[in-house]
Amino acid sequence: MFWNSKVEILRRFTPQNDSVCHSEQSEESNLIRKSCYSALIVISILLSVLIMNTIAFAHHGGVSSAFGPGAPIETASPLALGKGRYLIYEKFEYVPFEHKEHAEPENIDTFTFFNTVFGYGVTDALSFYGILPFASKEQDGLGTSDGFGDLGLLVQYGFKLGERDGIRGLYHFGPEDSYGADYSSDDLKMSVIAGLTVPTGTISNRDDEGNRFDMGMQPGFAAPSFTLGFAASKMIIPHFTLTGDTSDLTFTETNDGKPGNEVRFNAAGGYEIFEKTNGFLSRLDIIGESNFLHLTKDMNEESEKENGSGGSILYLSPGLRATFGKHVSVGALIKIPTWKDLNHESEQQGSEGLEEYRAIVTCSVSF
């Protein structure tokens, strides 16, 4: 589920032979795992700052990462990378879930996601992205399911309604869009995005009792999924840009069933509150997003729909984006489930709409 960062990592479980020994081993493993996560975040940010001083500038977007006025964080940007340009992008997401009495004593506790994205601009209008997902899912009484998720591939084609050579019309992106020429800043920029996942993720993790985790707790999905989306953005007034996207994610069925398909509608407004062209902190944007998600019902191994799954959720999401020099961007966003209409909500736990919040931090480097 790479489009919305549902990703996972590395199989790890310990058979429960001796309860005392197992408890000590679990505590030690949790400490090591949390230390590794913290180290990965710190190293990623430090490397980004070091690289910032040696790489060339490029506007870039897609996969919820973009430079430029009002660049969103969760909402996908239509901006392409530019011909011959590269992108390295990291997204961290932490999701604690509400505990429900009906799910005791095995409430799903937290999900922690990592997305690593590598992008390349084939032309000014055409960009390709490869996505390596990783996640850790914790469930009370049953332990942690870690693992690499399914590899993702995305292709993005950008075009605009704007001016070129003094003539207004519909054009594919050109160099002036990649480099953010002033005269192109108020064009209506758009892109279509298509992608798929390859079933390479872990699907056989076992819990602390030696039983196989449910499908929703596994890192991978054992079958391909397909994404199709559209994004658009336009500067409305100086320093304020409005961005929107919509996408459909379709899963294919396996012997264990099928997750519900996803339809998303996102809108984001970004307002630049600080700019210093040659400064270490070159710009700062306030971001406000509205993220709507509709999930169809999951299907079980008998191809029957699970009534206690799926529904619609609306998140309101405040955030900030900081740009350092001309090459590095760091974003932070809190997604708050504000409204929901879930199918048989009293039977659900550990699913979208029943989070306490979603905390997202992104870091991107272009060169």
Q: Which residues pair with 112 in a beta bridge?
A: 94, 136
Cα–Cα distance list, 212 to 33, 171, 302 (Å)? 21, 52, 18
pLDDT confidence of residue 70: 53
- Burial label for 155, CB within 10 Å (0-12, 13-18, 19+), is middle
pLDDT confidence of residue 224: 94
Q: Over its length of 367 residues, how does the chain's per-residue pLDDT go in tens digits?
A: 444 433 333 333 333 344 433 444 445 445 445 454 444 444 343 333 333 333 333 332 334 444 444 579 999 999 888 899 999 999 999 999 999 999 999 999 999 999 999 999 999 999 999 999 999 999 999 999 999 999 999 999 999 998 888 888 999 998 887 766 665 778 999 999 999 999 999 999 999 999 999 988 999 988 999 999 999 999 999 889 999 999 999 999 988 889 999 999 999 999 999 999 888 999 999 999 999 999 999 999 888 999 999 999 999 999 999 999 888 999 999 999 999 999 999 999 999 999 999 999 999 998 8
Number of domains in the chain: 1
Q: How far is CA 349 from the centre of its chain?
A: 21
CA distance linking residue 202 with residue 3, whole number of Å: 18
CA distance linking residue 141 with residue 258, whole number of Å: 25
CA angle 296, 138, 339 (to 5 degrees): 40
CATH code of the domain containing 151:
2.40.160.40
**What is the span of the domain harbouring residue 214?**
2-366
